[in-house]
Amino acid sequence: MHELIEFSGAERQGPARTWRAFCGAVGELVDALPVEELPARIAAILPDLLSVGGLLTTAQRTAPKDGYGRNRVFVCPGDRFSVLAMVWPAGVSTLIHDHRDWCALGVYSGEIEESRFDPCGEAKAVLRDTVRHRTGAVAHLPVDAPNIHRIRNPTSRPAISIHVYGGNCETQGPNLDTVYTLDP
């Protein structure tokens, strides 16, 4: 089982209780399911979490002056998964990248755009499709297929998404495997 630890900055009991319940449910899924099933099953439980107002602290809703924010919410003491609040200022974008581990995400506020790509050579990718995810939307990346994507905020307002990653994002760093360039 996944012993829960203190949530950074969670002074209010309501949000802390909500996070404990969510992370407990994720921990149970991680313990019970094969890794290939985790992203979709975790994405399926994200909508209830995304509907809770006041869930994030001020620090978790903050982005640095340049780029996007990757703010810790929870790291499983057994290093099995991490939960981050990603803060997307207007117009900001990630590089085209893939992940070394599984990922599920949901939009807490605002809107993000996710472009997915197919590999086409050494660290090159070609655009497959682009989807806009609005508040409450969830998505996940496959474990057993290419999971190359780019996320950006195409709007003039900030957006926040909740990401659940396999592994410990603090000891392993970002759940990033390869950065790709677009093949013309």
pTM of the full structure: 0.89
Two tokens, residue 14: 């309501």
Helix (H) / strand (E) containing 97? strand 96-97
Residue 170 pLDDT: 76
* Mean pLDDT computed over 165-172: 80
Instruction: Say whether pLDDT at 173 is over 70.
Output: no
In the prediction, which pLDDT does 79 show? 87
For the chain, domains (ranges, CATH) are: 13-182 (2.60.120.10)
Q: Which residues are CB-contacts of 57 (< 8 A; sequence separation ≥ 6)? A: 8, 9, 10, 11, 15
pLDDT of residue 174: 66
Round to whole Å and give the CA distance between 62 and 59. Answer: 5
Instruction: Assess whether pLDDT exceeds 50 at residue 7.
Output: no
Closest CA to 18 of 83, 101, 66: 83
Quick one: which of 20, 21, 25, 23 has its CA closest to 10?
A: 20
Q: What is the largest CA-CA distance in the chain?
A: 51
pLDDT tens per residue, range 8-24: 444 445 788 899 999 99
Strand partners, 162: 85, 106
How does pLDDT run across 111-145, given as a tens digit for each residue? 999 999 999 988 999 999 999 999 999 999 988 88
Q: Strand, helix or coil at 32? A: helix
Give me the mean pLDDT over the 40-48 stretch. 97
pLDDT band at 148 (very low <50, low <70, confident <90, very high): very high
